[in-house]
A and B are shown apart, each in its own frame.
Chain A
Amino acid sequence: MVVSYSLELGVVTPRTQRIFDLAHETGALLHGEFTLASGRKSDHYFEGKRLTLYPEGAYLIGKEIFERLSNIDVDSIGGLVLGAFPIITAVALVSHEEGKPIPSFIVREQPKEHGTRKKIEGHFIKGSKVAIVDDVITTGGSVLKAIKAVEEEGCEVVKVIVIVDRHEGGSELLRREGYDFEAIINLPPSGEASISESSETKGGVKEGILPR
């Protein structure tokens, strides 16, 4: 089998290529010159929910993340509202279908103001091994909020997976802190984007370009 790579996907598989294509088809991933909320300029824009709330997108993301967790000892999967919500639901559904259920939980930005005042909702066990997911990582703020919340409850974060890494410092920070981090799609900083042009496939794997 020919193993191929692209700058955006690393090792390209039919599924990751389809996720990448679908990100464009659903309008989740746009290319152009954008002003971000922080004032930074970017040559791409990613709106994760357009992908994760699309039926095929939800299914493929669920399958991809489930497989990336399949060799890891993990008790549950969670993340910060709102970006992580459709992702953990998709993974939970796939895990049930595959007969290896992974329970899920959500982390609120702020604790509930009434009733239980919980910050973490769902199937969450204190002191357990958890995976944290999100749709996109930029500076890492959202992911770190979720990590901090579960670590305060004695949990060990065994994996962090995002759909898109914008390479604006967040993933670098997490790796420096020792977290096992993965992104499905990597968007290089402005001016360095280089999309795979090849459409030939060999052995079911699409040929791309080698990372430079």
Chain B
Amino acid sequence: MATTITELEVGRVVGAPVERKEDAALLTGQAKFVDDMSLPGMAWMAVVRSPYAHARIADVNVDGALAHRGVIAAFSGEDLADEWLASLPCAWLPTEDTNQPNHRPLAVDEARYVGDGVAVVIAESRGEARDAAELVQVDYDPLPTVIDAERALEDGAPLVHEEFGTNRCYTWNLAAGEVDDEFAKAGVTIKERYHQQRLIPNAIEPRGVIVQPFPATGELTMWSATQIPHIARVTLSMVTGVPEAKLRVVAPEVGGGFGSKLNVYAEEALALVLARRLGRPIKWIEQRSEGYNATIHGRDLIQEIELAATSEGRIRAVRAKLTVNFGAYLQLVTAGTPLFGAWLYSGAYDVAAYDFECTGAFTNTTPTDAYRGAGRPEATYAIERAVDALARKLGKDPLEIRRLNFLREFPSAIVSGLTVDSGDYDAHLDAALEILDHDDIRRQQSERRERGDTKQLGIGFSTYLEMCGFAPSRILGAIRYGAGGWDAATIRFLPTGTVQVLIGTSPHGQSHVTTFSQIVAQQLGIAYEDVEVLHGDTAVAPLGMDTYGSRSLTVGGVAAYHAAERIIEKARKIAAHQLEVGEDELEYENGTFSANGKSLTTKELALQAWTAHNLPEGMEPGLEASFVYDPPNFSWPSGTHIAVVEVDTETGDVDLIRYIAVDDVGTVINPRVVEGQIHGGVAQGIAQALWEEAVYDEDGNLVTGSMVNYLVPSAAELPSYELGATTTPSPTNTLGVKGVGETGTIASTAAVMNAVIDALVPFGVTDLDMPATPERVWRALEEART
């Protein structure tokens, strides 16, 4: 098989759809995920979890478990209470008065959600741990529960955390411009209410952790299916008291995250403490149905959005009010997740006044946290649905309204306070419409309407703007986020001519090894195959802020680029010295410095740097450089997505028959990788519109408790996607990249729901909750009929 890689000219790697380095191990079953690992003397951990959404823990008796064959130890929450020096971490307390509960890895007095861990059993085998866990006897006194966020904020609602006297976690505001004024003088206003249903991330690899202790030295190594080895190390050191310098955290091969592994979990803290206590390696692997309660959920908020516009449709002001269900505790980014969208409720539009308010509430449910898009799919959904509603009220084409309001001058200081770096929204809208053949599909739609076909067509648009590349540290400080948003890369040019790149990001499917190899290979003028990218191990690549918020390329990739620049700078100095010319007399191209008919390659210079026989006066030996990059701004991908649905007006069934995505993600390092990210992101957003919903009953039991009735779509449910691309490079970073990990999810839910409503408007339906199940569609049609 001809490889496309060796045929690539050195210097032309960036921008090419090179095949991935990650694949060989994954395709042949050689890759090591955390459950693939086994250590001598390893013991298994099983967590006993509350079956009640809210209950006092009267007594925990582990005697039955201890008597079971193969059991090494068993502990209640109280037994381990003194192990915790700090709460499980919460990285963002958005306001000074944010109510932050103390979150212990095992509950002591009160269980606050179904799945809340109350005891732990350690045994010689997986089966024995599971069997013994059933023998732990816990006496619960059930307490009243509150499941719904709005109900939780009402007077008299049962309190999840009595100490606060309220279920309100915080209220956060952002306002700019004369909002009330604009609404008062508006030609038209619309007011909409949307429910962002709760979602379960369902990365196909469940969570898991192995901790290996070295009792003689007090060192511990933790392998965890995590997106955040560096953040986990810092925070788990704080929680458990294991000195950070003695704690090594490794993310092995990780099977997807989507935010669900962007967290620091009870089981990680428990495994550390138990390994330390028992002096044996401890392994815990989540069972899927267990994880449905024990791993964070996504979304779950009510949005009230109002637009004030001129009678032509020019949007003057946006008011957005969110009521968010945080669940029982604040996990790492629970409190801040909806705020990632705080600046985006005006979407891609030029708006003069803005008011955003967000209230978070505790309930007796699994904590919510970041799930692909984290706050931005919600914002896009609200504004894109609202714009369609505005268009309907004015009797205008939804595309006309969009074009009337697009931001057009870049950089653009938007009213919510940030600056959008670059973009051209007409370009991707035009491109998407061309792929669609807009006139033809509208004609088909009309014909079906005239004929009164059972199956009607709907076309929905989503022209989104999002912000990612998480994030400028000073802005994070200003909004009270507990860490920075920089990232780091170290490049080592080894004496025999191959290169190691140590990165601070932590890929779990995003192809960093491939794309960072492309960037570094091109910068250093060496072959793609000669670059090794190392990641995810705090002992190997100790500096980094990990992977989430579409930041890895935009921050980490740029760091790698600048580190490579520093390599070239140093190499240039050595070359100039050895070729006996001034630096400015040197020509450099594709890894070769030349002057006066003589030349030196970067590879040769690496050897020279290592032998140090002839270096410029005062220069340190070695060809290695680091760069820590703190982005000056977020990056701002945008795009136009179009969904075409066929709705069976008798059964309510919705079939997505076409999906078009044209995205501007700035410079593209690897078009194949970019497309793959869009495909995956789009599938998840479509799934929110049509299938997925985490449902609790009144008592706080998760009714959709497994993959049988929580509906993650398969290939049979989805179409092939039609992709296009436009590019306005980001002026914010040297590479011009914007990030793409979440754009698909951010755009797609709105596109699909707008399409479903578009199909139903002639029947009098203008609103529909998600997911658009056949029953919901049928009921909406029935109600409109009467």
- Mutual binders A and B: no
Residues of chain B touching chain A, judged by Cβ–Cβ distance below 8 Å, are none
Which residues does A use to contact B, with CB under 8 Å? none
